[in-house]
């Protein structure tokens, strides 16, 4: 299993979440965050905004679905060709997943079945 974390512009979060839903991934965690990228914030006149609002989305998927989910995010989060500040996608391994209500350990097959439901 993999956790895909993506940081996107607030105005693109609905499109990304809808794209994930349409792709069969309804389970998404969303957190409002602030930060800056390589451009070191945003300068407007003499004022520098070094903490820009963003949204972070988390989704856990079977390894085999990684490229499909990343494509869904990229297709919906991009605002233009080569535009700074559209965000990042981070992929990391997930060793174990447990459902709190049942206490049961999940697996890739459980995640895949949930996607198809």
Q: pLDDT of 45-98, one tens digit each?
A: 788 777 888 999 999 999 999 999 999 999 999 987 766 778 999 999 999 999
pTM over the 0.85 mark? no
For the chain, the domains span 2-116
Q: Which residues contact 40 (CB under 8 A, 6 or more apart)?
A: 50
CATH for 2-116 is: 3.30.70.120
Cβ-based burial of 32 (10 A; exposed 0-12, middle 13-18, buried ≥19): exposed
């Amino acid at each position: 299993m993999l956790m895909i974390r993506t940081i996107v512009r607030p105005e693109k979060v609905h499109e990304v979440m809808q794209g994930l839903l349409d792709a069969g991934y309804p389970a998404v965690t969303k957190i409002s965050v602030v930060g800056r990228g390589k451009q070191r914030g945003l300068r407007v006149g003499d004022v520098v905004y070094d903490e820009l609002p963003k949204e972070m989305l988390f989704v856990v998927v079977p390894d085999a679905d990684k490229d499909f989910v990343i494509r869904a995010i990229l297709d919906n989060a991009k605002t233009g060709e080569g535009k700074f500040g559209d965000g990042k996608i981070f992929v990391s391994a997930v060793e174990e997943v447990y459902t709190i209500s049942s206490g049961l350990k999940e697996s890739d097959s459980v995640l895949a079945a949930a996607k198809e439901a």
